[in-house]
Amino acid sequence: MKYFITLIFTLTTGYWQTTFAQCSFSVSNTSPCASEEVNFSVDSPTPGANYTWDLDEDGQSDLSGSSFSYSFPEMNTDSTYTVTLFEDGNACSTQDITALAVPDPSIGVPPGIVALVDNEIKACNGSSSFDLEIYNASSTFGDNASYTINWGDGTPAEDHDNSTFSNTSTISHTYNGLGYYTIFITATHQNGCVFTRNYTFYNGGNPSVGLAIPGNTVGLCAPATLDFPITNTEGNPPGTEYTVYISGEEVAHFTQEELPDIFTYTFLESSCGVTTSTGNYNNAFDIRIVASNPCNSSTATIEPIEVSEPPEPFFDVTQPAFSCAGAIYGFENNTTNISEVVAGNPSQCIDVLNPTWTISGTSGEDWNVVSGNLFGSNTIEIEFLNPGVYVIEMKLVSFACGPVSFSQEITIQEPPEAGAAIQIPGPGGNGNGGCTPLTIPFSNNSAGENLSFEWAISPGEGWSFVDSTHANSASPVVEFTEGGVYDIQLLVANSCAEVSWDTTLLMPGPPNIELAPIPDFCQSATLSFDSSSVQVQLNGLAAGSYNWSFPGGQPEASGNPFPENVQYDSAGTYTVILQLSNACGETTAQDTFTVQEPGPLAMPPDMVVCNSDAPFMLEADPPGGAWSGSGVSENGRFDPATASPGSHILQYSYGVGACSMAGSLTVTVLQATSVDAGPGQEVCSNEPAVPLNGTPAGGSWAASGNAVLSGNS
């Protein structure tokens, strides 16, 4: 089945028709005079609707809202406007508004000394009594019904018609004074529309003005305030205005009534780089006053005005690593804002001023100049010889602004002085009978600046820092847990030097006993003691009795400080004990030794190992001796890798004196061989035997599973 669709397009020419939605609007006046305000408002507007208006028939929205006021353009002929109202974008109502023609109240002046430009009239003969002539220049002359002229000088307004105010003859009015007047020309159209035009009339002449030089205008220092008397303005007509310019930039404006007798201006910046507005001078300002009115203008200028800015002195300090006697400091002039005008013909600007340096103290005694010159150098180096505070001053002399200066202080440090005080409590002062443990505060009396501290106490045992203090604390607190003699040292340092203070403290405590190690013996032993083998420190207190014990020896005890001829006749391990007391307590010291008995020595057999074998222990009898040789430690641990390939004779020793025994054994270390069985192969069970080729040759083969080996096959 087929469907046929016929499209019919109809074009109608000659008119177009708009379908309006339902709405209406009211107009306060459908025939207003052109430029008269007319009020528009929607009748019963729909809440939330958007209303727009087309006022000039161009199809575009001109205004929006449900009500507004509007003035149709000023026209000298009647004009009809179709106003369309849109509701939410849809045209819903239209009305025609006819704006009635308004009259043209234009005037003219005959050729002569009076000029009319736009709405401004001026007469510049300088006479205070002047007759102004005008004529009717209205473009709607034939449609005008009447005129009212207000001459603007307080005289009564004049009423005219086309016969008394013609476009072929003039009327005149006499003004008795100079200045501005506003003339109001009101024309009434035959349709009743009224229109007024204003004209400004100026009766005056060429103004005069002058500036008096206030004195010196060169060599000034910013901020520089100058007073410029304004002269020759007394006869200028009202309406004259005055504009003041500094180097072409407007800085003030006055009317004739506001004009001061003296204009005061403060120059805040340097004139360097500025050219006067006349072009006559460089590096200078000028001041210019212009008196002007509609007739003409006059100018007065003062130049040159040369202004310098005061420099902002500053110098940088290059500090050495340490600020001590002999230190060399560098000082560099880094003054900014040097903008100095040097008067001349022509004047010049400079941006460098050479400084003069002064340093407190005495040259040669307190400091020396290392480089540079105190009179003119921008960079100097000074060596300071003595500690102290020095003031370095840099002075600059500006031709215009005078001297300016900048100073800084530097401090040369004193070397430190070390000092301390340590007070040990007396007996019972610590609730412990004056014995250790004692907690002692160290008082640091060192003097100097930027100090660092380091405390050292010897020996390193028997004491510790407490109360969160440490070796670098200024005044640490130390707890001594053992009696004895302690050497105390305090190192005090700053960047200039390191000095020390030291003292020795004797801490009350139980005796300190040090027994020299007793050697081992063979078969028998005889012991005798003296001051070299028994060292006793009583820590400042009287000693009690010496109690020696020699278990297994003869005698078994002694009360002598240094017993002699103590006999041990049989093999074994023995202990020697010494007990000694003082007012702070008792101390026990002891040592153990062995009386050995000769016997046979059994060494392990010689052996062969690979250098890849793990380390192992060598065992000899009796055990406990000492091993030596390549690859073996004293306790008998042998490491083949350390020994390296080859034969090594290892020594073993045991016992002392006549009981001493020694033996040796040889350990041969072989280099482990790298073995390669060759690549893997796949064979069938019914195939002939497969030859096997491994490296190095001469090895033996082993197989797993059901493989059968026959030699190398």
Q: How many CA atoms lie within 13 A of 147 on its CB side?
A: 31
704 belongs to a structural domain = no
39 plus 93 within the same structural domain:
yes
Average pLDDT over residues 114-128: 91
Provide the domain count of the chain: 7
The Cβ-side half-sphere exposure at 671, using a 13 Å CA radius, reads 5
* Amino acid residing at 667: V
Q: Which of 393, 412, 431 lies at the terminal end of a domain, its last residue?
A: 412
Do 576 and 520 share a structural domain? yes
Of 457, 447, 396, give the one whose Cα is nearest residue 422.
Answer: 457
Closest CA to 525 of 562, 489, 553, 556: 553
Domain co-membership, 328 together with 403? yes
Q: Are residues 304 and 322 in the same domain?
A: no
Q: What are phi and psi of 204, to 5 degrees?
A: -165, -155
In this structure, is residue 111 part of a structural domain? Answer: no
Query: Are 191 and 214 found together in one domain?
Result: no
With beta carbons less than 8 A apart as the criterion, state whether 40 and 13 touch: no
- The SS3 call for residue 178 is coil
- Collapsing DSSP to helix, strand or coil, 143 comes out as helix
Calpha distance 115→295 (Å, rounded): 10
Same domain, residue pair 424 and 393? no
- The least confident of 146-160, 309-323, 686-700 is 686-700
Residues 629-644 pLDDT 10s: 999 999 999 999 999 9
User: What's the pLDDT tens digit per position in 560-592?
Assistant: 999 999 999 998 999 999 999 998 889 999 999
219, 193: one domain: no
Q: Which residues pair with 123 in a beta bridge?
A: 114, 203
The tens digit of pLDDT for each residue in 462-491 reads: 999 999 999 999 999 999 998 889 999 999
Q: 3-state DSSP call for residue 659? A: helix
CATH number at residue 389: 2.60.40
- Note whether 293 and 334 are same-domain residues: no
Instruction: State the number of CA atoms in the 13 A half-sphere of 679 facing the CB.
Output: 3
Query: Would the pLDDT of 651 be above 50?
Result: yes
Q: Residues 310-360: pLDDT tens digits?
A: 999 999 999 998 899 999 999 999 999 999 999 888 899 999 999 999 999
Q: Are the C-beta atoms of residues 84 and 93 closer than 8 Å to each other?
A: yes
Which structural domain range is residue 441 located in?
A: 420-494
pLDDT of residue 12: 32
Q: Please count the other Cβ atoms lying within 10 Å of the Cβ belonging to residue 454.
A: 15
- Residue 2, pLDDT above cutoff 80: no
488 part of a folded domain: yes
Residues 189 and 217 in one domain: no
677 in any annotated domain = no
Report the CATH number at residue 536: 2.60.40.10
Task: Give me the helices (H) in 472-573, please.
Answer: none
**DSSP state letters, 192-227:** S-EEEEEEEEEE------EE---S--SSEESSEEEE
Question: Which residue in 653, 619, 617, 621 sits closest to 638, CA to CA?
Answer: 617
In this structure, is residue 681 part of a structural domain?
A: no
Whether residue 485 is found in the same domain as residue 529: no
304 plus 339 within the same structural domain: no
**At which of 390, 412, 434 does a domain end?**
412
Yes or no: say if 201 and 132 are a contact pair by the CB < 8 Å rule.
yes
Residue 353 lies in a domain: yes
Domain boundary among 577, 596, 615: 596
pLDDT in tens, 403-453: 999 999 999 999 999 999 998 876 544 545 678 899 999 999 999 888 999
In a domain, 12, yes or no: no
The tokens of 439 are what? 């907690």
Does position 513 have pLDDT exceeding 50, yes or no?
yes
Quick check: is 433 in a domain? yes
* CA–CA separation, 46 and 48 (whole Å): 6
| Residue whose C-alpha is closest to residue 507's, from 584, 421, 589, 419 | 584
Q: What are phi and psi of 17, to 5 degrees?
A: -130, 135
